[in-house]
């Protein structure tokens, strides 16, 4: 079953950050990273609160899942609430201001969609913490690492419940803050602050057999490339072909670039759109 939202690439929702003064003042790099993490934890926490308020144990059972799966989602939601509390406390201990919640728009049409988006958020959360780790050290790095390991457990569980490989690769894929904000902006309608990160152009993507179909606002007929990020690999394919790499076993990210050279986290200028998150096996 294919859920279009799994591309995490709808252009319908974008971050609107103009409502309040441009930036929080007196922040250092560590606080920026912690507030960036708190933004993601707020999103996940609110997602589970809204979804579990809407879908009961009976709804899960009617959708073909056991009551225990519903209870596991409750447990995961409690973890995300705790992450919010801990990050908020750490930021305050640094004499800085923790960011408040944004306003969200989650696709909660049915239990299947709720579970699919949960899987997408948890897998993305792992990539977010991995990408941010390089900017932390000491106790802050340990605190972030203790969260990312739990996010990884969440994603493995959700992958398995949705009949996929729990841990498909030997390595997970780190993403930059700009790439993560691009994905998260699909669910955020407005925020009362600005983390100073502007998302890339949203990429709509879907799997069609062994190809990936893509589209984005402002696309042209110039030479463009699909770059697939998964495991510790970057595989490049002409966008006219955009062949899904045979090595893909589970989740993967796809970005559109203006270069055939494999991108690194420093090559943002070459990204035309994306990333979008997809899962092999979804149709």
Q: What CATH number is associated with residue 26?
A: 1.20.1260.10
pTM assigned to the model:
0.85
Residues 173 and 229 in one domain: no
- Contacting residues for 45 by C-beta, under 8 A, at least 6 apart: 77, 80, 81, 83, 84
Query: Smallest Cα–Cα separation from 120: which of 259, 4, 238, 240?
Result: 4
Q: Tokens 């922040």: give the residue.
A: 27
Residues 152 and 263 in one domain: no
In tens, the pLDDT along 195-215 reads 678 899 999 999 998 999 999
- How many domains are contained in the chain? 2
DSSP percent split of the chain into helix, strand, coil, nearest 5: 45, 15, 40
Query: Is 52 among the domain residues?
Result: yes
In tens, the pLDDT along 146-197 reads 889 999 999 999 999 999 989 999 999 999 999 999 999 999 999 998 867 8
Q: Which domain holds residue 225?
A: 203-279
Query: Smallest Cα–Cα separation from 186: which of 205, 162, 209, 172?
Result: 205
Among residues 190, 216, 233, the one where a domain terminates is 190
Query: Is 173 among the domain residues?
Result: yes
């Amino acid at each position: 079953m294919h859920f279009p939202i799994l591309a995490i690439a709808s252009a319908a929702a974008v971050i609107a950050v103009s409502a309040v003064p441009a930036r929080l003042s007196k922040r250092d790099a560590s606080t920026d990273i912690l507030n960036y993490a708190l933004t993601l934890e707020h999103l996940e926490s609110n997602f589970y609160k809204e979804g579990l308020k809407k879908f009961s144990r009976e709804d899960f059972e009617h959708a073909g899942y056991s009551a225990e799966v519903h209870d596991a989602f409750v447990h995961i939601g409690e973890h995300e609430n705790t992450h919010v509390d801990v990050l908020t406390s750490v930021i305050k201990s640094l004499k800085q201001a923790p960011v408040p919640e944004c306003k969200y728009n989650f696709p909660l049409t049915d239990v299947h969609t709720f579970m699919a988006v949960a899987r997408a958020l948890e897998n993305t959360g792992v990539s977010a913490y991995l990408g941010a780790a390089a900017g932390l050290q000491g106790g802050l790095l340990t605190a972030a690492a203790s969260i990312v390991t739990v996010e990884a457990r969440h994603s493995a569980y959700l992958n398995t419940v949705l009949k996929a490989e729990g841990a498909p690769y030997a390595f997970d894929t780190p993403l930059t803050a700009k790439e993560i904000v691009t994905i998260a902006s699909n669910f955020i309608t407005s925020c009362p602050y600005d983390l100073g990160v502007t998302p890339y152009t949203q990429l709509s993507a879907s799997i069609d057999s062994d190809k990936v179909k893509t589209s984005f606002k402002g696309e042209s007929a110039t030479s463009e490339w699909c770059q697939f990020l998964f495991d510790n690999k970057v595989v490049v394919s002409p966008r006219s072909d955009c062949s899904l790499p045979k090595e893909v076993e589970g989740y993967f990210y796809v970005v559109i670039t203006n270069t055939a050279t494999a991108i690194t986290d420093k090559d943002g200028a070459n990204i035309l759109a994306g990333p979008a998150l997809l899962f092999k096996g979804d149709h």
